[in-house]
């Protein structure tokens, strides 16, 4: 009998990679997607199966982590062997703008699923994965951070995720549930949301190299992160649910880079050499301009980009009220117990993202410069 998985947040970056991974393993995969006024299934459209087909192995349900009745109904209907709770308002900066909603979806949403499992008498049958985060460490108490490092969350997002982390531990201890936390450090990919810093950078650099954009505005350039590839990380999410006993694991690469290094690596990918101006704690004055550029990106608007052109500026609007300056994971427990070895290096990750964003930028460029036609909706 095929195993049945339920993924919340299936339309997100990790949801898409995990759904693909589980389908390849022979699972029947159910996913919860939110109702939106526009299509929001871009990342999983290649997996879509027409509802009229019999014996589908990929099935979507409308739902929301803020609606208990809907979660109980879906879980009852699907009877999953494994639940992966990936849904969240996952943007740290936005959580300062929508703190109550973030607490509701990211914190109480986790409780709602765990309670639904109890109400339905599934606490001994169904395994539960919680998407915990390195943001829990916040103002770091120890370097590198492991499963034993104390937490000090620094945003409404991280505080909501702290509740979700502990309610998962508590339900495991109180009710003997197979429930575990993956404490995942930042992981990225070509389908990363466009407003997270890595994708914002690779997308902008690709567009700048083709003359579609002039400048990239960023916040804290000195922030240090441990960046891995989402494709590698979802495999660990699955593996955590295949162990004898439920446990929490840190997943990280053990290597750290700054936002500034991320920009340089992306620029290198399109053949742009950069020169930084300005230093120090107050980074508002810092800009970066093109020092040289090769021929890696053919085409582009005539004369763009140009040596001396300012391509990065620091804009304080992207500073956070409280920042997480540095994160570096210690994945040795996962290495020992799950056989975790990060497959993708930082350089390979950035190269893959730049390559994908260049293709997208080239399509935009074609539309812009060669025969994109508009028609008037009012006619
Ligand atoms: P994304 O932001 O790409 O995806 C989040 C998903 O959650 C989307 O499918 C989104 O739907 C859905 N969602 C948001 N709010 C709700 C809600 N109220 N009800 C139902 N669904 C909702 O995140 P990632 O894929 O990058 O991350 C997956 C999980 O892992 C998240 O919980 C995140 O906080 C956590 N995490 C991520 C890390 C990373 O570096 N990527 C690191 C550590 C933890 P829609 O598509 O409609 O917006
Ligand atoms: P993070 O990721 O906050 O670590 O959360 P993000 O990419 O948003 O920020 C990383 C660092 O870059 C700095 N930064 C900027 N960030 C954004 N988004 N935009 C900018 O213009 C910019 N300039 C500098 C930030 O200040 C920060 O220090 C991600 C999310 O996926 C969470 O859901 C997840 O839990 C954590 O990773 C682990």
Domains, the chain? 4-184 (3.40.50.720), 197-223+258-323+344-369 (3.90.25.10)
Give me the residue label for tokens 């849904």.
87
- pLDDT for the residue 371: 61
Whether the per-residue pLDDT at 282 is higher than 70: the answer is: no
Q: What letter does residue 105 receive in the DSSP assignment?
A: I
List pLDDT tens digits, range 71-83. Answer: 999 999 999 999 9
What number is the average pLDDT over the span 99-114? 99
Model pTM score: 0.96
Whether the per-residue pLDDT at 318 is higher than 50: the answer is: yes
Question: Which of 13, 181, 191, 196 to probe ligand 2 with, by most ligand atoms within 8 A of CB?
Answer: 196
Q: Are 236 and 343 in contact (CB under 8 A)?
A: no
Nearest ligand 1 atom to alpha carbon 157: 34
Residue closest via CA to ligand 2's atom 21 equals 218
Q: Rounded to whole angstroms, how far apart are CA atoms 304 and 299? A: 9
Residue closest via CA to ligand 1's atom 26 equals 13
Whether the per-residue pLDDT at 240 is higher than 70: the answer is: yes
- Known catalytic residues? 133, 135, 157
Structure tokens at 278: 């300005």
Question: Which of 35, 65, 88, 138 to probe ligand 1 with, by most ligand atoms within 8 A of CB?
Answer: 88
What number is the average pLDDT over the span 234-241? 98
- pLDDT for the residue 301: 63
Contacts of 76 (CB under 8 A, 6+ apart): 120
Listing DSSP states for 125-163 in one string gives: T-EEEEEEEGGGT-S-SSSSB-TTSPP---SHHHHHHHH
Band (283; pLDDT cuts 50, 70, 90): low
Residue closest via CA to ligand 1's atom 6 equals 9
- pLDDT for the residue 277: 82
Nearest ligand 1 atom to alpha carbon 187: 40
- Of 286 and 343, the structure prediction assigns the larger pLDDT to 343
- pLDDT for the residue 312: 94
Q: At how many degrees (to 10) do helices 346-369 and 259-269 cross?
A: 60
Q: Which helix (H) or strand (E) element contains residue 334?
A: helix 332-338
Q: Rounded to whole angstroms, how far apart are CA atoms 159 and 321? A: 14
What number is the average pLDDT over the span 291-320? 78
- pLDDT for the residue 364: 93
Q: Respond yes or no on whether ipTM tops 0.90.
A: yes
| Alpha-carbon distance values, 177 to 74, 78, 116, 159 (Å) | 19, 19, 13, 23
- Of 366 and 294, the structure prediction assigns the larger pLDDT to 366
Residue closest via CA to ligand 2's atom 28 equals 223
């Amino acid at each position: 009998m095929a195993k049945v998985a339920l993924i919340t947040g299936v339309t997100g970056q990790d949801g898409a990679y995990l759904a693909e991974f589980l389908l390849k393993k022979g699972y029947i995969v159910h996913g919860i997607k939110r109702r939106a006024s526009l299509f929001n299934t871009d990342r999983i459209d290649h997996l879509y199966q027409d509802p009229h087909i019999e014996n589908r192995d990929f099935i979507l349900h409308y739902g929301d982590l803020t609606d208990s009745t809907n979660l109980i109904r879906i879980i009852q209907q699907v009877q999953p062997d494994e639940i992966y709770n990936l849904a969240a308002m996952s943007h740290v900066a936005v959580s300062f703008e929508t703190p109550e909603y973030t607490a509701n979806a990211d914190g109480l949403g986790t409780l709602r699923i765990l309670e639904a499992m109890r109400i339905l008498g599934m606490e001994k049958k169904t395994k539960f994965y919680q998407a915990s985060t390195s943001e829990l460490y916040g103002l770091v108490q120890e370097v590198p951070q492991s499963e034993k490092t104390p937490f000090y969350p620094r945003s409404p997002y991280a505080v909501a995720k702290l509740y979700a982390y502990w309610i998962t531990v508590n339900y495991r201890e109180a009710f003997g549930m197979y429930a575990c936390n993956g404490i995942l450090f930042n992981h990225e990919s070509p389908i990363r949301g466009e407003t997270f810093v890595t994708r914002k950078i690779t997308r902008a650099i690709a567009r700048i190299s083709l003359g579609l954009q002039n400048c990239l505005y960023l916040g804290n350039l000195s922030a240090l992160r441990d960046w891995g590839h989402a494709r590698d990380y979802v495999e660990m999410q699955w593996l955590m649910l295949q162990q004898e006993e439920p446990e929490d694991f840190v997943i990280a690469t053990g290597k750290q880079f700054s936002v500034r290094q991320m920009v340089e690596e992306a620029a290198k990918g399109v053949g742009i050499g950069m020169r930084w101006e300005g230093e120090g704690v107050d980074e508002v004055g810092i800009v970066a301009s093109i020092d040289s550029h090769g021929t890696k990106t053919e085409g582009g608007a005539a004369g763009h980009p140009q040596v001396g052109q300012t391509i990065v500026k620091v804009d304080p609007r992207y500073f956070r009220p409280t920042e997480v300056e540095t994160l570096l994971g210690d994945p040795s427990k996962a290495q020992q117990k799950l056989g975790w070895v990060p497959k993708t290096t930082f350089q390979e990750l950035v190269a893959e993202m730049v390559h994908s964003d260049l293709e997208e930028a080239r399509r935009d460029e074609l539309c812009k410069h060669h025969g994109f036609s508009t028609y008037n909706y009012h006619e």
